[in-house]
Amino acid sequence: MLRFDFYSPEQEITLPLYDQKSVRVFIKRDDLIHPYISGNKWRKLKHPLQQAQHDKKTKLVTFGGAWSNHLLATACAGATFGFQTHAFVRGEAVSNTVLTLCNMFGMTLQFVDRTSYKNKQALFDQHFGYDEAAFFIDEGGYGASGVLGCSEMVAELTGNYDHIFCASGTGTTAAGILRGIQLQKLDSKLHGVPVLKSGEFIREEIARLGVSGSAEMALHTAYHFGGYAKTKPELIEFVKQFTRDTGILIEPTYTGKLFYALHDLLRNDQIDAGSRLLVVHTGGLTGLLGMLDKFSSTAEQ
């Protein structure tokens, strides 16, 4: 059994907006789990890694883009727990900080064109179909094992919350939290903030992942800022201000959009006064490395 002790407290933060709207806001600090096997990345990798170990597999094969937090988490987890790692990277060959870190942790990178990348199982079968040591992990840790890992977060909670907020990409994390709420028989309402356009697809993904009840969750689909990894100046300024005001680092791809949505809902009185809110910080902070130019500013003279 893999042993991995980690730290993920529930931390209350106070801001004038929260006082004005008479709400209490807590953050589930999954970003503190590990510098690289961070946030929901660890939760989605935990059970696949345990399965790989049980099946005596020694090579993890996974998928992601050139700035993928998942690739970096898998590379680090492989080095930590004694697996070889191989990644199919979407698009033309590039070099960047995240991929360099993946290399440092021992991951082999194989760039594939975007058309071939669409069929991940075919890629795995073509290159590793006869390799009995190879173990398939889907992009971003998507799948039932990822749902199970994310559901376990809810059992850790020490407080009672009226609302739980999370960012949504593939729907795995939201599905896991929803399953956890159901298993723990909580009255908490789940709020998902899709970071892609047309985010209603998250409900379908949750159902596809075998979790019922997505019709009862709230999906706030207006906060994608143009699509996945897209930003606008107002989002960048929000991320900078939130980080200054709280001392908690967030980034524009996931957690920035999540907290922006929460603040906008509060400003528009969409959350009842007296509510206790939990916001899940899903980590992924190395994603900032691909956006540093958006945060540069001239030093004050």
Residue 14 CB contacts under 8 Å (≥ 6 apart), including other chains: 25
The model's pTM? 0.94
pLDDT tens digits along 51-105: 999 999 999 999 999 999 999 999 999 999 999 999 999 999 999 999 999 999 9
For residue 284, pLDDT beyond 60: yes
Q: CA nearest 193: which of 253, 240, 236, 135?
A: 253
For residue 66, CA distances in Å to 97, 118, 141 come to 10, 15, 16
Domain annotation for the chain: domains and CATH numbers: 10-35+150-295 (3.40.50.1100), 40-141 (3.40.50.1100)
**pLDDT score for 289:** 85
For residue 301, pLDDT beyond 60: no
Residue type at 27? I
Cβ proximity of 264 and 295 under 8 Å? no
Average pLDDT over residues 142-154: 97
Surface-to-core class of residue 93, CB atoms within 10 Å of its CB (0-12 exposed, 13-18 middle, 19+ buried): exposed
For residue 268, pLDDT beyond 50: yes
**pLDDT score for 108:** 98
